[in-house]
A and B are shown apart, each in its own frame.
Chain A
Amino acid sequence: MSSEAAAAPKTNGWEPKIVAFCCNWCSYGGADSAGMGRFQQPASARIIRVMCSGRIDPLHVFNAFLEGADAVLVTGCHIGDCHYVNGNDKTKIKYKFLENVVRELGLEKERLQLNWISASEGEKFANFIRDVTEQIKKIGPSPLKPEGVV
């Protein structure tokens, strides 16, 4: 475990705010497993639980950006493992659309990311949050972030 790496972020205070949508069965469980395994990660992500990644609506994603998210994460079960048969297949299709719109909005591609994380992949979850946080720290706050919002 690279917990030392996680303890590193002593940068001048700014911590990105990342909205992470997690499905109840896999990625939310993955975040729980990260906790159980004490996989340290930057305190940047705020998890919002939905039952299935298929429930993650473009409306939710765009609102997150408009409210001030520096990045939005769409996560769910691995393809083939969806608790609801194939909700994540539909997420994948929607995600393509989302990606395009986000690019149209002039946001960097790092700001919207998709990842399949199973309930046992705690370390993967932690690494994902750490990686995204580092990427976002490099590119700075979202240009859409309203003034005064943290």
Chain B
Amino acid sequence: MSDSTESKSTDINKDSGEKRVGVFVCECGVNIGGVVNTKAVAEYIGTLPGVKVTSVNKFTCSDSGQADIQNKIKEHNLNRVVVAACSPKTHEPTFRACIEQMGLNQYFLEFVNIRDHCSWIHMWEKEKATEKAKDLIRMGVERAKLLEPLQASEVPVTDKALVVGAGVAGMQAALDLADMGFQVYLVEKEPSIGGRMARFDKVFPTNDCSICILGPKMVEVARNKNIKIMSYSEVKAVDGYVGNFNVKVEHKPRYLDVTKCTGCAKCSEVCPVEVPYDFNEGFGTRKAIYVPFPQAVPLRAVLDKENCISCKACAKACQSGAINYDMQPGFTDLNVGVIIGAVGFKTYDPEPRHDFGYGLYDNVITAMEFERLLNAAGPTGGHVVRPSDCKEPIRVGFVNCVGSRDKATNIYCSGVCCMYTIKNAQLLKEKRPETDHTIMYMDIRTPFRGYEESYNRSRNLGVKFLRGRPSEVKEDPVTKNIKVRVEDTLANEIRNLEFDLLVLATGIVPHEGINQIQQLLKLSKAADGLLMEAHPKLRPVDTTIDGVFLAGVASGPKDIPYAVSQGSACASRATILLKNKKAITEGITAVVNPDVCAGCGVCLPMCPFQAIKMDETPYLNTGIKKANVVKALCKGCGTCVTACPTGALEQSHFKNEQVLAQVKNVFKFQEVVA
């Protein structure tokens, strides 16, 4: 009954005697209050045994809402707090900190979700929602009474970082961390860093040459002594937890010694094999041994063994004797404190569905292909030509939203296609004013600085904008021109247009490697198939895994400035851990009661983290070696607990009695209706 033990700030055991519960019902403005009758709920909850006070707040998370909790803890000597509000996934830390300030153990908080799981999904059933809220809070109150104090533990953080993916977002994260003095490993699966941006011709809205602004940054990354670039490498295994990740990186064989190769490309000159050049989106060819592109970093050749015919001409041509046909994959084990995932994307492939005739008609190309044709270093030296006859097109049509905003493919907006289409049309118009451009769009979206201006510039240059989506695309069998039937929805008429070249603005989609990285880092995927952040608004670069951050398009479509900002944001978030050299981990773990454990070992194979070990010596005088949970390794999933046949294992914060208290209180005896 007495809370008088004077053991200052962390007197976590404000736990003795009677359980005194305070229940705080949030209205979340009208989000909850507009549906659930919060007054009636609070009144009912107030009648439950152990509930000493209930309170309804417009916004419990606000300053005044939190002050109300703190005041009532003091006034009513509360030792358990139930907050009925939104989702614990976003707000549990807020209220844990709030009650901890009052000297309560942070695990004495029970969070009940009556917004996402109630008012928002029963908007037109107010009575039922109110009854459900009562049930949910009753469940929470009974569970709260059984909550036990736990101690979050502190783990040391290795002050090194791993950045996966060396596109512009990953490079920015690596540079920022390196400039703050931390060692960074930058792993890139391609032979060169640079990512997708290295392939763009010019970038909107300023129309800077992409590689001219990216190239120096790539060199800066290479020169930075705190950054270790691991190109042509992939993360194969990740183990451990925040502060202490053990990572296995595989270095794919380049079949040449990078310390000897100078990137002179003499080997390519003599190589007799030609394959489509992926960097140019399959236009033109490269050799089986090649330097990825002129500005590649590291500027080293790579041998594509799949296409190599082992003629050994390159070995003869190489003056530094770098070629080694027998090279095997290499592995490096890294120990890092944080991981930043900047794993990028690919563009939507219209070929399988033959969207707008792509793959059927030569003169339908994607915007990335157009981009390479525009590029002075591209396959045509910057001359946009049509694939059927290599003639320079006069009438160019652009179709927006290919693989975006379409129920048949992807429903989301890729965000960048409007702008790059506008830019592409501008660039060709500037190069060859005689060309005629028509952009067929659904909506034009130009949200950021300079974007609307760029759109206006296109209009002034004479680029035509037609609101409508082609309903039919056909090829003229003789001229190979593309005939498009499209409804001009502003003029309300059907138009039949003929183009020399049709360019599809393909959207952003996840690449094949995303599943692998998702599973390695234990991340979630969002509906668009890209990776999911911890909170869409307030923790946009964090993930639900402590110490793992996301930058760039890996977590949703973005343009370049947004991706760069996220790179910097990741670096800044990571620095909090790297600089403090410690992280706080959850106190929720499995616990063995050695008095009950029979030493059967059934739990051992249940644990994917090898956190349960059998003791070396028998327990007391029982003669039995008992199971023991290594807290630092235990992630607190509780799977072993379910397997334990004797009930010796329990999961703290999710003990059987705590879960069962909720199960039992889903139900109540029906009140007698008069």
Closest to B125 in A: A43
CA of A126 to CA of B635 in the docked complex: distance in angstroms?
29
Task: Tell me if B128 counts as interface (CB < 8 A to partner A).
Answer: yes
A43 touches B129 (CB 8 A): yes
Task: Tell me if A109 counts as interface (CB < 8 A to partner B).
Answer: no
Contact of B670 among A25, A43, A52, A148 (CB under 8 A): A148
A63 touches B524 (CB 8 A): no
CA of A47 to CA of B115 in the docked complex: distance in angstroms?
13
B639 touches A32 (CB 8 A): no
CA of A29 to CA of B89 in the docked complex: distance in angstroms?
8
Contact residues in B for A39 (Cβ distance below 8 Å): 121
Known contacts A25-B544, A56-B642, A120-B527: A32-B667 contact under CB 8 Å: no
Identify the interface centre among B121, B519, B643, B660: most chain A CB within 10 Å of its CB: B121
Contact of A55 among B608, B638, B663, B668 (CB under 8 A): B638
Interface residues of A in 67-104 (CB under 8 A from B): 67-69, 80-87, 90, 94
In the assembled complex, how far is the CB of residue A14 from the closest CB belonging to chain B, in whole angstroms? 12
Closest to B90 in A: A32
Contact of B666 among A17, A43, A59, A118 (CB under 8 A): A17
A60 touches B670 (CB 8 A): no
A69 touches B113 (CB 8 A): no
CA of A83 to CA of B548 in the docked complex: distance in angstroms?
13
In the assembled complex, how far is the CB of residue A38 from the closest CB belonging to chain B, in whole angstroms? 6
A41 touches B121 (CB 8 A): yes
Contact residues in A for B131 (Cβ distance below 8 Å): 43
In the assembled complex, how far is the CB of residue B92 from the closest CB belonging to chain A, in whole angstroms? 10
Task: Tell me if B19 counts as interface (CB < 8 A to partner A).
Answer: no
A118 touches B524 (CB 8 A): yes
B666 touches A25 (CB 8 A): no
Contact residues in A for B135 (Cβ distance below 8 Å): 46
Task: Tell me if A26 counts as interface (CB < 8 A to partner B).
Answer: yes
Question: Scoring B residues 117 to 161 as 1 if CB is less than 8 Å from chain A, else 0, what string do you get?
Answer: 110111111001101100110010000000000000000000000
Binding-face segment, B101-109, B177-185, B651-659: B651-659
Task: Tell me if A50 counts as interface (CB < 8 A to partner B).
Answer: yes
Contact residues in B for A28 (Cβ distance below 8 Å): 89
A55 touches B524 (CB 8 A): no
Known contacts A35-B117, A52-B637, A57-B641: A84-B608 contact under CB 8 Å: yes
Contact residues in A for B636 (Cβ distance below 8 Å): 51
CA of A35 to CA of B129 in the docked complex: distance in angstroms?
13
Task: Tell me if A105 counts as interface (CB < 8 A to partner B).
Answer: no
Contact residues in A for B527 (Cβ distance below 8 Å): 120-121
Task: Tell me if B606 counts as interface (CB < 8 A to partner A).
Answer: yes
B116 touches A50 (CB 8 A): no
In the assembled complex, how far is the CB of residue A127 from the closest CB belonging to chain B, in whole angstroms? 12
A48 touches B662 (CB 8 A): yes
In the assembled complex, how far is the CB of residue A118 from the closest CB belonging to chain B, in whole angstroms? 6
B669 touches A149 (CB 8 A): yes
Residues of B in contact with A (beta carbons under 8 Å apart): 87-89, 113, 115-118, 120-125, 128-129, 131-132, 135-136, 139, 518-519, 522, 524-527, 532, 544, 588, 606, 608-609, 635-639, 641-643, 651, 654, 656, 659-660, 662-664, 666-670
Between-chain CB contacts (< 8 Å), 27 pairs = A17-B667, A24-B89, A25-B524, A29-B524, A31-B113, A32-B87, A32-B89, A34-B121, A41-B121, A46-B135, A46-B666, A48-B662, A48-B663, A51-B651, A55-B637, A57-B642, A57-B659, A58-B642, A69-B666, A84-B609, A85-B608, A86-B608, A90-B639, A119-B524, A126-B121, A148-B670, A149-B670
Residues of A in contact with B (beta carbons under 8 Å apart): 7, 15, 17, 19, 24-26, 28-29, 31-32, 34-36, 38-41, 43, 46-52, 54-60, 63-64, 67-69, 80-87, 90, 94, 118-121, 126, 148-150
